[in-house]
A and B are shown apart, each in its own frame.
Chain A
Amino acid sequence: MLETQAPLSAADFEKTEAFIHAVRARVGTVVVGQDVVVERLLIALFTGGHLLLQGVPGLAKTLLVSVLSKSIDLEFARVQFTIDLLPSDIIGAEVLDQRSNEFRVRKGPIFTNLLLADEINRAAPKVQSALLEAMQERKVTIGTTTFRLPAPFLVIATQNPIEQAGTFELPEAQLDRFMLVHRLDYPGRDEEREILARNAALGIQRMDKGAVVKTEFDVLADEPVGSSAELVGAMEAVHRVHVSETFVEHVVDLVTRSRHHRSVALGCSPRAGISLIKASRARALMHGRPYVIPEDLFALAEDVMLHRMRLRYEAIADGVTGRDVLAELLRGFGGVEAES
């Protein structure tokens, strides 16, 4: 049993559940579908992990993060990564104040609660490295001064799976810093129809003497439905979710077998196991359970494990994908298949 604090009381549980429900409902007013992405965002937020979203442009990633930040009264910043971006463009720099003739620290956009790092693979490795270091240590050094990043601090990075020319793929060690890597799918047919209907109803917005066409960003309600205190309460509640010894065994078994699979050159690190348990706790809470069950493991395995496994060249040549391997590992959950 991995309880570090007192078990979750019924009152706390209900309060957290209501908070989560309100946030999801607010997000749902703007973003159609994407329930799983919202869930992953909240998991990352509640557990202090970071999230990498892989998907083609136009899937409402920015809108999603924006509405989430406004729902909980969090600061939000967005950085579009490009090849000419410098580390100081993100973390900040010392600038000379000409009036006082002294250097003054100008903090970068990283000093926020939710940072959307758009197309992170388009930035040079030194920029990626600077961001990933900040993600790990939750502090940055500008000049000679070290600054602690605000809490909570969550990086939501995006990656376009196509158009790889001119990009710098994140190495495994840096990918490992992301607790979750979620692969976005296109919305379903009904969701797509709803998106179009909502967009068609937006209309225009008069500004000064003219007008602009409204976007989803313009209809975001500024009133938060949850406070920072409630967020902290949810984070505490996650840590009170019960994790049984049996569940830990499942996690250990799954992670260990990923290292011995015949198609895998590099299996999951222990950090994968830690992330699986953290994320499972948050998911259990969001599904109204004060304890984790194997369903949480199955649901999160792809997002937590897939980016931490590197396949053998022979397997890739044979057309094996990481999803195939993971499916085989999970199908062999009974211990009969998927032996290396």
Chain B
Amino acid sequence: MLASLVLACAQASQPAEAAHPAEAVNPARAANATQAASRSVQLEAPVGLSARIGDVVLEGSELEVAPLASDAPLVVRITRCAPHGDAFRYDFELVALEPGLHDVASVLRRKDNGPLGDPAALGAPKLLAVATLAEGRLTPNSPEPRESPRLGGYTTTLWLGGAAWLVGLALLLALGRRKRAAEAAAARPATLAEKLEPLVRRAAAGELGREERAALERGLVEYWSRRLGLDAERPEAVLPKLRAHPDSGPLLRGLEVWLHAPGPHAIDVGALLAPYRELAADALELGTRAH
């Protein structure tokens, strides 16, 4: 009886577990195996995937798989063979390489080279191979791109996370330092020379406003008091010394006439301020050290 056979019909996704020989054998019903020899079992499996069947009792002497030709449409492997009275009980693993109905008996032969007899009467199982490819298509589609599997395990993830945290921290520190440096650069007060340069340029062009004229004069007083090393002098003593000095005197007296004396004057502002048009940013500091 066909129902007495425990068939392990392996599906493509779970071939082995369901067809384990130990689970497939039903000893109580093995005695009736010979009665089932005339009726074959038909399995169904996709092309290329294995199907298993166990406890198949076949009459006669022991059978074996005949050598396969290179283009054989069916591959059969006997995974277990045991005497069963006058017959033998087999477990088969079947793989069809072409679609269609394949008879296992077509690839079997007697180990003692005796005649196999009518394959249909032998009662060997049949395998219906179902093609998953479209008709006429011989090769499968190229694999779909898939997400790469995760690299490593939990430890690797921890290391990578730690490294990312360190890199992030380093980036934050670097950005913070750069920002602070930029702020410090922006907060650095302009040197006296840097302040003077635009004022002198605009004064020569006659574009100075009231506050800028005052700032220019203050800047030049500061410039010369530093250059002549008068920083430590009492403030009220600085200007008389600057006015009397041969280097700074002409400038200051000219500025006084230009900026403070009433009425028209004959001061050439451009010529008066020409030496101060292109002062180096550190000219003052250098000048101070030199004296």
Chain A residues with CB under 8 Å of chain B are: 1, 3, 7, 242, 244-247, 249-250, 253, 290-295, 298-299, 301-302, 326-327, 330-336, 339
Contact = CB atoms under 8 A, between A and B. Distances in A.
B172 interface: no
Interface stretch (B104-112, B137-145, B175-183, B235-243): B235-243
8 contacts: A244-B262, A245-B213, A246-B210, A291-B261, A294-B221, A331-B231, A334-B192, A339-B189
Interface of B is mostly: helix
Nearest to A292: B260
Given A335-B195, A335-B219, A298 B238 contact: yes
Interface of B: 189, 191-192, 195, 210-211, 213-215, 217-223, 225, 231, 234-236, 238-240, 243, 256, 259-263
Contacts of A1: 262
Contact of A250 (B214, B234, B243, B262): B214
B262 A290 contact: yes
A333 B218 CA distance: 5
Contacts of A247: 259-260
Given A250-B214, A290-B262, A327-B235, A333 B256 contact: no
Contacts, number: 88
A244 B223 CA distance: 22
B218 A250 contact: yes
Contacts of A7: 262-263
A302 to B, nearest CB: 7
Top 10 nearest A-B pairs (CB, nearest first) are A334-B222, A249-B214, A330-B235, A295-B239, A242-B262, A246-B259, A244-B260, A299-B236, A334-B219, A333-B218
Given A246-B260, A249-B214, A250-B218, 7 more contacts: A245-B213, A250-B214, A291-B260, A291-B262, A294-B217, A327-B235, A334-B219
Contact of A302 (B192, B222, B231, B236): B236
Interface of A is mostly: helix
Contacts of A244: 259-262
Most buried by A among B225, B231, B236: B236
A294 B218 CA distance: 9
B210 A245 contact: yes
A295 B260 contact: no
B213 A301 contact: no
A210 to B, nearest CB: 48
A113 B8 CA distance: 136
Contacts of A334: 192, 195, 218-223
A264 B191 CA distance: 25
A3 B262 contact: yes
A156 to B, nearest CB: 21
Contact of A293 (B191, B213, B236, B260): B260
Nearest to A36: B236
Contacts of A292: 260
Given A295-B240, A339-B189, A242 B261 contact: yes
A74 B197 CA distance: 54
A253 B235 contact: no
Contacts of B240: 295
Contact of A336 (B189, B213, B234): B189
A290 B262 CA distance: 8
A301 B236 CA distance: 8
Nearest to A243: B260
A339 B227 CA distance: 21
Nearest to A326: B235
Nearest to B237: A298
B253 to A, nearest CB: 9
A302 B218 CA distance: 18
A293 B256 contact: yes
B285 to A, nearest CB: 11
A68 to B, nearest CB: 23
A292 B239 CA distance: 13
A250 B195 contact: no
A246 B214 contact: yes
